[in-house]
Structure formats: structure tokens, C-alpha cells
Amino acid sequence: MQNRVLEYYKVLQLPSMRVQVILYSQPEDVVESCIESISVSLGNARSKRLIAGSSIILGDCSGSPCLANATVERMKEDATAAGIDHLEYTHFGRNLGFGGGHNRLVEGAHEDLLLILNPDTYSSPLLVEEMVSACQDASVGIVDAKQLPLEHPKSYDPVTMDTSWALGACMMIRTSVMTGIGGFDDKSFFLYCEDVDLSWRARLHGWRVVHQPHAKIFHDKHLTGDGMFVPAETEPENSAESSLVLAYKYSRDDIVDKMVDAFLHSPAHFHRKAVNRFNQRRLSGDLPARIDQDHSVGQFVGFDFAEHNFSYAD
Amino acid sequence: MQIDPAQKDLVQASPTQGGAVQGGAVQGGAVQGGSSRYRFGYSEDSLYSQLMSLVERHLTGGGLVVDIGCGWGAVAERCREIGLDYLGCDVDPEGLVDLSNRGFETALMDVSDVRSFVELLHRQVKGRKVAAFFLLDVLEHLVTGKQLLMALATLAAAGPETTTYHGARLVMSVPNVAHYELAAKLLMGRFDVTPSGLLDDTHVVFYTSRRLEEVTRRAGWMELARDDFVMYESDQRFPPEAAMLAPSTPLRQFLAGIRQAADGFAFVNQFVRIYTPANPPVPAAPVTEGVGVSSDVGGLPSRPILDKQSFTNQVFATVLVRTTGSRMGTLHDTLLSLAAQSYDDFEVLVLCHNTPAQVFDAISNLVSQFSPTFSNRVKVVAVSGGGRSRPLNAGISLAKGRYTIILDDDDLAFPGWMAEFHRLADIWPGMVLRLGVAEQHMEDQPGPGGKLYYHAISRPRCPYPKKFDLLSHLHENRTPPCALAYPTPFFQYLGFRFGEDLPVLEDWDILVQAAELCGVADSMEVCTLYRHWNGGDQSTAIHAPAEWMETRQEILSRLESRPILLPPGYVREVHKLDDLERICRRLHNERTRLLAEVAKARQQGVGVEDSASGNARANQAATLASAVAGLDTTRGRPAGTVDISGTTPQGLGYASWADVAAALAAELVQVKSSKGWRLTEPVRAAGKAARRLAALFAPRR
């Protein structure tokens, strides 16, 4: 309640913003393009007096640094020219994973709003102002953006814009919410579903998660010659295991059983491998504590975590 | 004015030299061989009568005509008739004597020395009011032509206090070195110089319309009016049986069509134009021969003049984003997808078609908020009037890219879209570049605050052929514009434009023409998303099916009216077309037989239902009826299909067979997939033909 009152108070002031990007072996030009576009968007929002200060923090999970020192220096200069107060690059020296990396970066964050952003994105110049606009409703804890060219199929309420969960590729979260709910659950999720889990935990704490269709990012995706979505190399295996963990965490044994059954009958090797790893974690007690016993936020529609407008698997 | 090819006598009556004018290359008096060869008379329906009609319309105040290089002064009497005084000037006294004997003032003058000529002119004119300078088939004889034009312009541009020359017009006729028949002769390796005519042996400078425009503009003249003299049969049509020259050959029809499309002057024998002194003087532009076209499109800005240097400095591509401003959200998406391209050597023209000023400003504001690395490459252009093609043609006129790409304001490009075009262009320069394209169904969603939301309601699918096939594209369009990059010279040099008279299908019309001339290079990479709007304002919803059908027929009629160039490897395809006729006849006969059998079965089915054979026949009748109903569903089908009902093989032309065969094939595939097909033996006979058709329509390897 105290946090909510604080947020109502904050909307009367211009919020400050921190952008966090986790890198993993991306080419320099991809990262530079991402930072250039989000810098412009931050600059536009600031010039329209929608945000106060802003900073961009990059955390690198690669084995060796993605960015050369000279590149970092150039990016700092460009960011300063664009009106960004601070740009910082940290090479972690090990792969902390998506959630772990962001948790590390958010330590000591003093900005009001946090923008979690993938490095393979190009932000609309209006991205920040549209997302901040959605955050002006003090009941909103997390906002996600529309991805282009391939939209995510999850649905949203056409009136309230409420949605089951927010995409981690581009989500804005109040820093107080992020820290208040303990950040990403990086112990349970290494890659994939950590954004679903974060959204659902925020909702368990009473925050709304909304979609802002006017906030847009371009997210590098590919289609096969038949128009089928080509997932990232790491996605199928990691998302299968994470899905099992998510269903387990949100107390949906029925879904866990269905997934295990489907995965074991799947011709894909990675599905059986995901089940094996999940079972090993279960035996070793390495699974998260179970929450949402009354299923108030966890939404499992088939093997999806929201109603979908369509399926890429049709 | 256009001359019927049958009026061959006009070849003789149409001089391309009006007098013997001493120029740099013909020093020393009259043209060798005697100037009498240029003794042309005035007659109706000739170059001179056409020119004098123009003069009569634009020189109404009387005054003195100074006919420079007058020869025998073929227009002198006509000048007098319309109230103009006449002064004939020439370096050849023979014609001047004749003129003098006819009662006209003459002066022996040599224009090879421009300064001396001007001094002599002053003395001869003696302060009289000069209405016009005539240079009739003279300029091409002068290496000092530009200097002469500048000197005359200087006289004519003098202030009103210098009443003698102030406001004098320039009237010229100049032979067209780019007449189709000269181009055809060059293709045969011929440059047939003749005693007179288009390639008179005393011509030292050659003019195209474009060059004449540039030279006169640089000299200080502004065109007032034109009525170019057209001759379909020039003096260069020899031997007349040559396939490139004979009027009825497919080769001439094809090449002349290309030549005419390029600048519209294929059959202009002489440029007939009137100029007024430019005030203020028009800034000089570089003279570049043979580059581009100069014709404007309905009041739109003319295309930029390019020289070789500016050509090599061109960006890779120009992206034309056509918008009416009614979908700001999707326009935002489209621009975002362009800003995110991994290869950025391209410019963007946002073509705002009939947009109110407020919307235009909003679009400009949206563009300005992008990163300067992108927004500096974007121009927002207001285009008014015309239909769907108008903004595209406006963009083509302004394009500086080597390739021109259309991305409408609801299409999306994947990040590697431009890079893939560039990769293809490196391998297949000059060809139409074609990428894989997916389509996705979208839905609008009214949201809070009156803002329109929209989202995808289907996954992307790829219904378009992976490889381009010209024959199938002659049937219907199978490639959305956002998957194509056209070589810009196809528009700016060959003169092709999107048909402004076509309400729809303008993209198909231009694609088949470009594919025919440039060929098509395919990429299998899916790099763009073509979005379909359920109930939205996409062209399919705006335009009635009848309009699509009529436009399709119009495009097909145009294709039928001219020869078609097929790429290598199509002989086999043509053989297949030959086979199609036989197959179509069989299909037609099969259809007729099925109809008869259905009727018979219906009759016999009554009263024999108790017997096993009767039931079988009744069932067969039902399935046959279903099959025939399938065949009859061609009525009222949307654009891209044909109505074969009621047609007979005898009533069809050869070119229609592909349409009929494709329609029959499609219907038989439909029938084949039906339950009735699987159950009905008689229809299977037709199925064999369908399989043959399927093989015929299989992509070429």
C-alpha cells in the first residue's frame, strides 16, 4: 500500500528512466543500432518533458566482451549528445543468463522506471513516451510493447489493455516493483519464461500488467520459405524446460503432467532432454517454491501462458 | 500532328535543311553540291504549314521575321499573308536571288562568325521591330549554334528601351537524331548519311529533344509552344523490307514501342518549337546526352537531370512509401521497419497522396523524430490529384536510387530486406529483383480514447510462388509490390510509368512489362510482410469486383496488342501452350459428356432406385452433378480468374488457351479434391488431363 501511494505521488513528477540491455555475443553494429534508436526515443521523451534524466546500462554475458573499448567510448559520446545522462558497460565475465544479468544491473538503481530491452531490437522514436504514458496509471506495474515485424500472438483486453504477461524483449517496469518482488527468478529460469514469471508475481502483488500497442520495437526475427517462424537456436530446449518449471511453480501439476506427456512423445530430442532435466531438478529439490495455489494469476492455455490471437504453429 | 505512313510524298516535302548556312564544319560558302538541293516549296500538311500555324498562333503583333539560313525562303509568302515582314538571310546567294525576285528583302550573311553576324543584322534591321528569329533546319548545321542562340537571346532579352529586339521570339525546326528509324539503322550497324534528310551529310551537331531543351535553356530561351512534326516513315526507311523498318513486323512493333515509351519522340522527324527569352535567365544545367527523360507527369516535378558522375554516386535504392495518411499507425510501423534495416544505402520518399496539410505536417513530424541517420534519408512529398498510380509516378520522377522499391504504408520489411535486394543486385544487375514474401491477416480494433489499434489474427503464410514465372504472371499477378525492386532506369530511361488510367492492378501492369524487358532474379528469403486487413480500407475492399475484372481485361488487351519478349528457356513453355489447346479441347469435350451423362442419369434414376445398378447410377448422377457444378463455378469469380462457361474451343483464340487451361486446371483440382471426384470414375478421365496440366504449370527448373 505504501508503494502504491508512493507511485501515485511520483506520477506528479517527471520520472527518471534506466534502460538495461543484456548482451550475449551480439555484433557491435547490432548493439550500436539498438542503443542509437533507444537513445533517440529517450531524447524525444525528455524533450517533450515526459521523463527527467535517463541512463543506459549494458551488461555483457559473453565469454569475451562484445564491445571494444573504443566502441563503448563512442557510444558514450553519442549518448551524451542525445541527452542521455549516463551510459555504462559491464562485462560480467560469465553468463548470468537473462534474468541474472538484469538482476545484477538493477542493483543500486535509483531511477523510477526500468526499461528491459533486448539488444537485437530497434526502438520506435515514440517507444519511451508511449510506454511512460501507460505508466501514468499508478495501478500499472509493467508495460510491454508491440513487436514488429512478427507480432507476439498473446491477446490483451481491448479496453483496459491488461494482458497475462509482458514480453521481456521490451518491458517497462517500475523500479520499485522490480525490487519489491525480488527481480527476475534467475535461480529457476535461465532463459525464457522469466518474463512470464516476473509478470505473474507482479500481478500477485496487485500490479497490473498492460500491453501498449502504440509502443513499438522492431525485433529481428526470421521466417522460413513457408512462412514458419524460426526460433532462436537456444529457444526450443530452454523454453521447454522453463515451461515445465513455470507450470510447476504456479502449482499446475495438471499442466506439468500434460507437458511431460507431450514432450516424451515428441520426436524432438530436446523435448525429452528438457523433461529429463526437469525431473533431475525435481529429484534434487532444485525447483522453486510453489505459489499461486489458487491459480489467480497463472494462465495456461494449452501450453501457452495467455489466450493467443493466432498460433505460429498452425 | 501525325502523318499517316501512307503519305510517303511528305518524305520529299519535308526538308531537314532550309538553307545553306555557313557553319564551322562547312566553311567556305554554300554547302558542297549546291544549295539547290534544299529548294523546298511551301505546301499544306507539310512541316512548313505546321510550323506556320504555330507561328500564327503565337506571333500576333506583326513585326519583322528574320529568317536565318533561309535558303529559298519557303515560308516567306506565308509570313506576309499573316502580316509579318520578312527578311531572308543566307550565305548562299542563289536562294536570296530567288527570294528577291519574289519581292522579299534579303541579306547575304554568314553566321559562322556570330559577332559579325550580329553587327550585320543591326545594320540590316535598321531599328525595325523584330518579331522573331527563324532557324528552320539550320541549327544542326552549325558548330557555333549555341553561341548564335545565346547572341539572339541576348538581343531578345534586352530591356524595353531597346525596342528593336525586345521580346523577339525564336522559331526553330530541328531534325530528331533519335527518330526510331535512325535507331533501327544503328541496330543494323548502319549510319546512312544522305544528301538531305535526317542524316544530311552537312549536319554537324545532332539533337534529341532533351538536348535541344538543354541547349536552348542554357542559351537563355524558354519554350513557349511546340508542335513537333511527326513522320512514321522517315527518309531513312531503306531498305523498306528490313524487319526493323517494315511497319508490320513484330520486331519493329516491339522496338518502336520501346523507343516511343522512352521519351515519346520516336516518330518526331523535326522538333518544331517557339521560344521566348527567359526572364530571368534560366540557370544553366549540365548538358548530358542520352540520359533520362524530360517529360513531366501531370504537373509533377520533372525528374532530376543526371550526369555520369551523379549516376555513379547514386544510392542503392529509393523506397517509395505511398500513403494517404489515414493509417498513421501502420505508416509508423513501415518507417520503423525501414529504419531498422541492416543495410542503409537507400533513400525513402514518403508520398503523401491528397493528404490535408495537417496530416502532412503530422507525417513530417513523425519522420523528424527518428534518428537523423534515418530521417536524413527520408523526404516527405505532397502529391495531389490522380489515382493510386500518381504518387508512385511522382516518386519515380524524384528517385535517385539505382533501384526503385514500393513499400506501402501498411507493409513491413524484415531487417535484411534491403541487404537481400543488394545481394541480388550484385549478382543480377539490371534485373527486377524479387524476394520471398509472407502475408498476414490483420484486424482493426477500436480502443480507448478513439485510437485505432490493430493486431495480427493469423500467422504469416507464403501463398506466392517462390520462383517468378512470366507466363503465369501474364495470367494474374502473383507477387506483391513490396517483394520487388525495379531497376530505376526502367522508369527514368525507358520511360515506363504506372498506369494512371488504371484504378487497380497498376502494380501487375508494370510488373509484367518490367519482367518482360529486364527479367526477374529470385531470392527464396522471406524478407517482407504483406498485410491484409479484414474489412479495412485495402484496395480489395474499396474497389468493386467488376472494377477489378474490367481493369484486368484492359491490361490483358494491352498485352495482346503488342509483341511479347520471352526470356531464354521459354520455347519449351510455348510448346506446352501448344499442348494446352489439345488438352483444353479434351477437357471441354469431357465437360460436355459429363453434362449429358448427368441429364441422362437423372432421367434414368427415377424408377430404378430399388436396383443396385439404379442406386449406383443415381449416386453417380449426384456426384457428376456436383462435379459439373464445380466446373460451372467459374461464373462470378474474383479478379485473376476467367469465366470459361459457355465458351467453346472453336470460339477461342490461341492466346486464350492459357487462361482457359489454367481455369480448367484450377476447377479440376477443386473437383479432384472433392468427395465426388474420389468416387466418380468418369471424372477421373478428366483428372488425367488435369495432371498433365499440373505438370505443364510446374515451376521451371
Interface with B, mutate which of A26, A42, A310 (most B CBs under 10 A): A310
| Cβ pair A218:B456 closer than 8 A | no
With contacts defined as CB-CB under 8 Å, which chain A residues touch B373? 36
The CA–CA distances, whole Å, from A183 to A136, A204, A209 equal 22, 14, 15
pLDDT per residue over A20-40, tens digit each?
A: 999 999 999 999 999 999 999
With contacts defined as CB-CB under 8 Å, which chain A residues touch B455? 146, 151, 213, 309
At residue B533 the predicted structure's pLDDT band, cuts being 50, 70 and 90, is confident
Would residue B435 count as lying in a domain? yes
Task: Please give the backbone phi and psi of residue A225, each rounded to the nearest 5 degrees, phi first.
Answer: -60, -20
Interface of B with A in 413-442 (CB under 8 A): 413-415, 436, 438
At residue B447 the predicted structure's pLDDT band, cuts being 50, 70 and 90, is confident
Residue B451 touches chain A, beta carbons under 8 Å:
yes
Task: Please give the backbone phi and psi of residue A139, each rounded to the nearest 5 degrees, phi first.
Answer: -85, -10
With contacts defined as CB-CB under 8 Å, which chain A residues touch B447? 158-159, 161, 213
Residue of chain A with shortest Cα separation from B339: A122
| Cβ pair A158:B457 closer than 8 A | no
Would residue B283 count as lying in a domain? no
On the question of a cis peptide bond just before residue B239, with omega within 30 degrees of 0, the verdict is yes
Would residue B1 count as lying in a domain? no
Q: Do B579 and B538 reside in the same domain of the chain?
A: no
| Contact (CB, 8 A) for A186 and A100 | yes
Q: Is the pLDDT confidence value at B669 over 60? A: no
What's the rounded Cα separation, in Å, for the pair B163 and B180? 43
pLDDT at position A268 is 87
The CA–CA distances, whole Å, from A132 to A50, B362, B384, B478 equal 7, 21, 37, 43
| Cβ pair A36:B526 closer than 8 A | no
With contacts defined as CB-CB under 8 Å, which chain A residues touch B459? 153, 227-229, 310-314
Instruction: For residue B448, give the nearest of A124, A153, A159 by CB distance.
Output: A159
What's the rounded Cα separation, in Å, for the pair B208 and B178? 6
| Cβ pair A149:B529 closer than 8 A | yes
What's the rounded Cα separation, in Å, for the pair B47 and B529? 56
What's the rounded Cα separation, in Å, for the pair A191 and B618? 64
Q: Is the pLDDT confidence value at B312 over 70? A: no
Of B117, B67, B118, B63, nearest to B89 (Cα)?
B67
B418 versus B670: the higher-pLDDT residue is B418
User: Which of the residue ranges A197-211, B389-403, B408-422, B570-584 would you say has the lowest mean pLDDT?
Assistant: B570-584
Residue ranges with strand state E in B33-168: 64-68, 85-90, 105-108, 130-136
Q: Do B580 and B687 reside in the same domain of the chain?
A: yes
| Cβ pair B369:A44 closer than 8 A | yes
Q: Do B341 and B377 reside in the same domain of the chain?
A: yes
Instruction: For residue B453, give the nearest of A213, A229, A314 by CB distance.
Output: A213
At residue B574 the predicted structure's pLDDT band, cuts being 50, 70 and 90, is confident
At residue B280 the predicted structure's pLDDT band, cuts being 50, 70 and 90, is low
Q: Do the strands B403-406 and B412-413 form a parallel or antiparallel pair, or are they unpaired?
A: unpaired
The CATH number of whichever domain residue B359 belongs to comes to 3.90.550.10
> What residue spans define the domains of chain A?
2-220, 229-314
What's the rounded Cα separation, in Å, for the pair B324 and B354? 6
B6 versus B498: the higher-pLDDT residue is B498
Residue with cell 548530358: B288
Interface A-B: count of C-beta contacts within 8 A: 100
Q: Please name every residue paired with A136 in a beta bridge, in sequence order, or none if there are none.
A: none
| Cβ pair B448:A151 closer than 8 A | no
Q: Do B502 and B632 reside in the same domain of the chain?
A: no
CATH number of A2-220: 3.90.550.60
| Cβ pair A124:B336 closer than 8 A | yes
What's the rounded Cα separation, in Å, for the pair A64 and B380? 44
SS3 B636: coil
Annotate B516-567 with DSSP letters as a single string.
HHH-EEEEEEEEEEEEEETTSSSHHHHS-HHHHHHHHHHHHHHHHTS-----
Provide the Cα torsion A106, A108, A109, A115; round to 10°: 0
The CATH number of whichever domain residue B214 belongs to comes to 3.40.50.150
At residue A66 the predicted structure's pLDDT band, cuts being 50, 70 and 90, is very high
Q: Do B156 and B122 reside in the same domain of the chain?
A: yes
Would residue B259 count as lying in a domain? no
pLDDT at position B572 is 82
What is the arithmetic mean of pLDDT over B538-555?
81
Q: Do B134 and B227 reside in the same domain of the chain?
A: yes
Of B279, B192, B288, B292, nearest to B237 (Cα)?
B192
Interface with A, mutate which of B327, B335, B342, B371 (most A CBs under 10 A): B371
Count of domains in chain B?
Answer: 3
The radius of gyration of chain A from alpha carbons, rounded to an integer in Å, stands at 19
Distance from CA of A309 to the nearest CA of B (A): 6
Please report which residue ranges of B413-523 form alpha helices under DSSP H. Answer: 417-427, 470-475, 488-492, 506-518
Q: Do B483 and B624 reside in the same domain of the chain?
A: no
Long-range contacts of B221-224 (CB under 8 A, 24+ apart): B221/B149, B221/B153, B221/B170, B221/B275, B221/B276, B221/B277, B221/B278, B222/B275, B222/B276, B222/B277, B222/B278, B222/B282, B223/B273, B223/B274, B223/B275, B224/B58, B224/B169, B224/B273, B224/B274, B224/B275, B224/B276
Residue B651: domain span:
571-696
Q: Which amino acid is at B6?
A: A
With contacts defined as CB-CB under 8 Å, which chain B residues touch A228? 459
pLDDT at position B41 is 74
Task: Please give the backbone phi and psi of residue B250, each rounded to the nearest 5 degrees, phi first.
Answer: -60, -35
| Contact (CB, 8 A) for B350 and B381 | yes
Of A175, A172, A217, A214, nearest to A195 (Cα)?
A172
Length of chain B measured in residues = 701
Residue of chain B with shortest Cα separation from A126: B369
Q: Do B522 and B641 reside in the same domain of the chain?
A: no
What's the rounded Cα separation, in Å, for the pair B349 and B541? 26
Residue A182: all three cell numbers together: 525480488
Q: Do B515 and B584 reside in the same domain of the chain?
A: no
Q: Is the pLDDT confidence value at B655 over 70? A: no
With contacts defined as CB-CB under 8 Å, which chain B residues touch A125? 369-371
Residue B452 touches chain A, beta carbons under 8 Å:
no
Would residue B593 count as lying in a domain? yes
- Which one-letter DSSP state was computed for residue B200? B
pLDDT at position A313 is 78
User: Which of the residue ranges A233-242, A295-304, B46-55, B166-175 would you say has the lowest mean pLDDT?
Assistant: A233-242
Of A123, A40, A26, A122, nearest to A78 (Cα)?
A40
Interface of B with A in 1-30 (CB under 8 A): none
Q: Do the strands B268-277 and B169-175 form a parallel or antiparallel pair, or are they unpaired?
A: antiparallel
What's the rounded Cα separation, in Å, for the pair B561 and B572? 23
User: Which of the residue ranges A279-288, A305-314, B240-249, B681-690 would you say has the lowest mean pLDDT?
Assistant: B681-690
With contacts defined as CB-CB under 8 Å, which chain B residues touch A159? 447-448
At residue B163 the predicted structure's pLDDT band, cuts being 50, 70 and 90, is confident
What's the rounded Cα separation, in Å, for the pair B59 and B163? 16
CB atoms inside a 10 Å sphere around CB A281: 17
At residue A6 the predicted structure's pLDDT band, cuts being 50, 70 and 90, is low
Mean pLDDT (chain B, rounded): 80
Of B95, B47, B41, B40, nearest to B71 (Cα)?
B95
Q: Is the pLDDT confidence value at B24 over 80? A: no
At residue B215 the predicted structure's pLDDT band, cuts being 50, 70 and 90, is very high
With contacts defined as CB-CB under 8 Å, which chain B residues touch A29? 342
CB atoms inside a 10 Å sphere around CB B557: 9
With contacts defined as CB-CB under 8 Å, which chain B residues touch A28? none
Q: Which amino acid is at A167?
A: L
Length of chain A measured in residues = 314
The C-alpha angle with vertex B31 and arms to B27 and B35, in degrees rounded to 5, equals: 150
Residue B632: all three cell numbers together: 460451372
Q: Do B378 and B444 reside in the same domain of the chain?
A: yes
Distance from CA of B368 to the nearest CA of A (A): 9
SS3 A187: coil
pLDDT at position B682 is 46
Of B577, B594, B608, nearest to B676 (Cα)?
B594
Task: Please give the backbone phi and psi of residue B225, each rounded to the nearest 5 degrees, phi first.
Answer: -160, 160
Q: Do B55 and B154 reside in the same domain of the chain?
A: yes
